[in-house]
Amino acid sequence: MVGFLRKHLFIVLGVALPLLLILFVFVAQQAARWGVPAPITPVLYLTDPHYSGSQFVRWTVREQHLKLSVVVPENAYLPPAAVDRPVRLALFDPRTDTLETIEVTLPEPLKPGLRADLALPPRLQAIRLSDAAESPDGYRFEQRSRRSGGLVGALFGLGGRRAGYQLVRDGVGYEVPPASGYVYHNNAFIGWVIHDEQSN
């Protein structure tokens, strides 16, 4: 064995060093999380792709209640797929790692010049929100891009880049599972769920 290692030292090092580097980075990432409590506050955000008409959705949080409306400019271009498609919101609970999609029906098909308030379904009426940038447990909802090749791809530049959402605190990020195949919204964040009447 010793003779084999001496004879093929450069081959052994060529295989071992990248593996040790991957192990080191993995341990460093996990160590960073040890000092940061995991997120516990559910988050509500807009999930539809940009071309579906969700760019016309406006929202505010008043006295912990969500208000939704659609505002379509007079000169807006409306793709056929956007005309009568419901607005979709996503509710992610990091405590259980579950993602819930909530649809809000449009009062009428989208058209240039339309301004209308949206009636909230019971699921959205049951929650109370905070639109503060930071959650009660210190996390922020951010859009970040990463390589699709995982840890190996990130280290060696393999795989394509893919945008996604994360809950971030002190440099530590927890991925938010994708609710659709596209992430175009830098401002998709709506609010943190501080009370849920339907929560067990």
DSSP 43-90: EEEE-S-GGGTGGGEEEEEETTEEEEEEE--TT----GGGSSPPEEEE
Note the pLDDT of residue 1.
57
Note the pLDDT of residue 183.
53
Note the pLDDT of residue 187.
62
- Smallest Cα–Cα separation from 141: which of 39, 55, 59, 29? 39
Note the pLDDT of residue 56.
84
Place of tokens 């208000």: 67
Instruction: Flag whether the pTM goes above 0.85.
Output: no
From first CA to last CA, the distance across the chain in angstroms is 60
Note the pLDDT of residue 141.
94
Note the pLDDT of residue 38.
92
Note the pLDDT of residue 195.
95
Note the pLDDT of residue 21.
60
Q: What is the mean pLDDT of each run of 10 residues along the chain (200 residues)?
A: 57 60 53 72 82 78 94 84 79 94 86 91 96 96 66 51 80 81 65 88
